[in-house]
Structure 1
């Protein structure tokens, strides 16, 4: 059942009123003909595409899955046709360089539009998700000839790209990578090896697929210092940019997965395939990391989008389904039962979904502003933005992906038996979103990166900067309604800083401590970051109502009500995680030993 509607009003509330994108775009685009009005014109259109075209295909993709026959992959019914409409609408060009045929809006415009697509059909989005990263990588490191041949086709969406990192013997640990690259007399390379878990490694969306492949040159240093990056097309490209013969690249099989069944996750074989070096030798991993912030933020958005869609379905069902009587007495005495929406426990779950979906959206938009600055700001601004993103990206990706499993599962719980069967699509969302806690770095990896590599390492000045930014909203002018929230967030931030100071001292005497408690620490950071976004929203809503400057008073009252719920029922979770951290590192060598 398709019942997703792009939440245009809520998106503009986050962008315009909470995150001040109007001024942000005026500054970044002052020398162009573009401004935030272009985003306001584009988003409703792509929202309609998501709601009308992609959402109805979501259950079809889950039911049909992909088919792999003799190395050729067929996507589910309607998927490739929807992609052609997407290209004809010009949507792949959003937030791309005008030099290559793009619409040069900042990245945040694409991330805002991306929510609608991810909510509607995460599987379909997997086919398009890697083009932005490939384009950035090629523009930054490829030769002019490679850029000319490949980038315009990727920007237009005529071709799609993949990232080929993982091998059977190495997942996150790329030290173990064994794919080889042998130089040829012509200046190209012969790439050999097998890659697994390659999203959209083969499909029927486009005539060519551009693979970016990590491999080792002869005599390369061991470990990640010896990995190079290569462009390997499915079809070779002639001098006149026309397509030539097939390269020695093949899809051996597609994975049978828990979710995202409409997305082709492939095992790819490179059998002496012709490829070209991208960037300097032995710098492949570093070169690929130029887009890691965007990729991980995109995963956070997948999680947030699924929460939003689950909330919409749950809310509709709760208003329509009648079962039992409201605890305070009959609401609809003329009927045999009251709607589920009048049950307090149902409201608890619905409000949790709403608070995380809307707070997560604002958090993603806030991160996207810093991505814009890192792309388009001056050198000093770029440096500060990168430092803050070093903290915010693992927080956002890790926390939202964890909460997405909980919040989509709430949807199953709200619908009861109807949630457990396929008709309403909630059980599919639980399965589909589960992978966001795994790819682009598991939650554990995000937590260790945040705490051990950043906050207690080189990122401590950025941590202080982040805290100062959050505390600034705690002193904004607000009515007596909002001041308690300001005090509560101030106290939570002080607790976070004190905890961090304590962990730095204790870690000097226990080398396992930070890794053992990193996920709990990340969740504390995530709940506080979401609290910051809800406090900003509450200040905006409160000021709007006090000044009586709106024709939508109920919209702003709902924001205040949701902010209060978040601070009452969700932010206190930090106390549990703090208590767990206080119990120290793990002691499990005997408990987890293999049976004799």
Structure 2
């Protein structure tokens, strides 16, 4: 397996040339500059390359283990996790009032990309902590914040999100976990949750679960769900650890991928929990964490795309096989490296164009998260709407393209890509989950079209496109970018006009609409990157490839949208 190479130069091109982020930091009064950012990224890259990546393949082979309710991470993870905690990497974006470092979201997104790419299995033990602390900071009482956030930012305690039950996945209104009021803000939580990432492990002193449950006599459905903080060990008033709380891991799942990450069934038996936010407002609080997690999963896909590309590119330069159709490149050798073959170049260029597009897009969304948090009221409100619109695209489109990149990278290896030793098949398996958890990509598509676009009549989308039209892009692509912006708006208008008379239309068109959205956004980003590149970075050549070979898929998805729902709804269920 090739050594992971942190893509810092490509990252800095997006940050400073494409997004001009140092101007943003100055406008938003964020205490960050290029020199400090570079030192953070270089150290993060070193940790990713030297500490995390060497454990990736062995962790997959060993997996997490379960023994009578205790869960053990793979060999070497404890020492590597200690490096993460000692370096403060779990609290980079946290609230400084409680010990966090307060770094801008756009910088923590880059750190996440490197950590996801180097070792997804290890970073999963830490990643949900950031989302959990964000939710606690936004919605919990001052007492809970003071008691839990400092140790979570430090990495001594980690976080987990407990939503899913065997009968309640996407439809959380069906959940049965109960919360009995004990007194004050304290409740006794009883029920069983499944698919709980990092719900039990041996890497941290305490694990803080955020649990969705239903208070007695609460309304049915999603209107009756509340959110609770449920620690593995109770915490005394002086901050010291108390006795073990009433929950345990009943088992861990045996999975296709991310095998080094423990995914638990958690049984709560009158576990002590503390209400976060108002009663029956749990979903609103949880979606603070979910939106963070969904962008993070998109970045997970990005990190794995970059890792897969690096592996495929290295292999294509080293593997000698056959001659390209145009003739020998090195006549003194019996064969040429497969990178000289046009189809191998097609595969590598596809990976790189999609991966760099995903990086630019994820950082664009992160920039708006920073604007939403640090900007003036009007600009913050607009950026908040943009983030809500773009988050389902970031989660679903990036991870779908990540799976495409992982499979394409595997194809570059030929038969060697199907065996474990090369490591690329692990990337394929680890990437697959990103399309499924934190809301399947089909659900993301329906959320985008039904809630984020049509619910406000497309106003937020129209405002975003109007803003993007004002940016400078390469003149050779400006006309085409304008055309696909128009195509996006026309498709939106057509769907809005037809949706009421054709009830199944949103469900039938949602995935195509999300893909159309993604390809159009990447077109704008590639036109912007081509404009800002002076030529030596190769971005202009990649932009040409994107516009020639990948952007035509936007027209394909727009065509599919206009076929309506009949071909999906007319076959009888008994036919299947």
Q: Which of the five TM-score ranges fits, normalised by the shorter chain?
A: over 0.9
Specify which of 205, 208, 211 is matched with residue 210 of structure 1: 208
After TM superposition, the score normalised by the length of structure 1 is 0.94
Q: TM-score, normalised by structure 2?
A: 0.97
Is structure 2 residue 563 aligned with structure 1 residue 571? no
CA distance in 1, matches of 2:508, 2:320: 46
CA contact (8 A) 1:21 1:36 kept: no
Among residues 494, 505, 514, which one is paired with 2:497 in the alignment? 505
Equivalent residue of 1:327, what SS?
A: coil
Contact 2:198 2:261 in 1 (8 A): yes
Which is further off, 450-459 or 513-522? Answer: 450-459
* Cα deviation, residue 94, structure 1: 1.1
The within-5 A match list for 1:241-390 is 241-390=239-388
Q: Is the 8 A contact 1:25 1:36 kept in 2?
A: no
Which of 559, 572, 588 is the equivalent residue of 2:539? Answer: 559
1:593 aligns with 2:576: no
Provide the residue aligned with 1:22 in structure 2: 22
SS at match of 2:16: helix
C-alpha displacement of 1:405 = 1.1
Query: 103, 106, 129: which one pairs with 1:105?
Result: 103
Picking from 468, 480, 484, the partner of 2:476 is: 484
**8 Å contact from structure 2 (residues 362, 394) kept in 1:** yes
Measured after TM superposition, the shift of residue 587 of structure 1 is 3.8
Gaps of 5+ in 2: none
Deviation at 1:589, TM superposition (A): 5.8
Specify whether residues 461 and 186 from structure 1 end up closer, same or farther in structure 2 by C-alpha distance, changes over 3 A only: closer
What does residue 424 of structure 1 align with? 422
Alignment-derived partner of residue 548 in structure 1: none
Deviations 1:246-294 (A, max 9, x none): 1111000001111110110100000011111111111111111123332
Contact 1:2-1:55 at 8 Å conserved across structures: no
Q: 2:508 aligns with which of 516, 525, 535?
A: 516
Q: Is the 8 A contact 1:250 1:269 kept in 2?
A: yes
Give the match for residue 10 of structure 2. Answer: 10
Could you tell me how far 1:127 is from its partner in structure 2? 0.7
SS in 1 for 2:470: helix
Change over 3 Å in CA distance of 1:528–1:204 after alignment to 2: same
Taking a change above 3 Å as real, the CA distance of residues 79 and 578 of structure 1, as seen in their structure-2 partners, is same
> What is the rounded CA distance, in whole Å, between the counterparts of 2:287 and 2:568 in structure 1?
35
Query: Structure 1: how far apart are the matches of 2:185 and 2:552?
Result: 60
Tell me the residue number matched to 1:550.
none
Q: 1:159 corresponds to which residue?
A: 157
Residues paired across the two proteins, number: 576
**Which runs of no fewer than 5 residues in structure 1 stay unpaired?**
546-552
CA contact (8 A) 1:97 1:104 kept: yes
Whether the aligned pair in 2 keeps the contact of 1:296 and 1:393 (CA below 8 Å) is: yes
- Secondary structure of 1:554's match? coil
C-alpha displacement of 1:2? 4.0
Q: Considering only aligned residues, what root-mean-square deviation do their CA atoms show, in Å?
A: 1.5
**2: CA distance between counterparts of 1:469 and 1:486?**
14
Does structure 2 retain, via aligned residues, the 8 Å contact 1:388–1:466? Answer: yes
- Which has the larger displacement, 368-377 or 192-201? 368-377
Q: CA deviation at 1:212?
A: 0.8
Residues 1:47 and 1:167: Cα distance change in structure 2 (over 3 Å): same
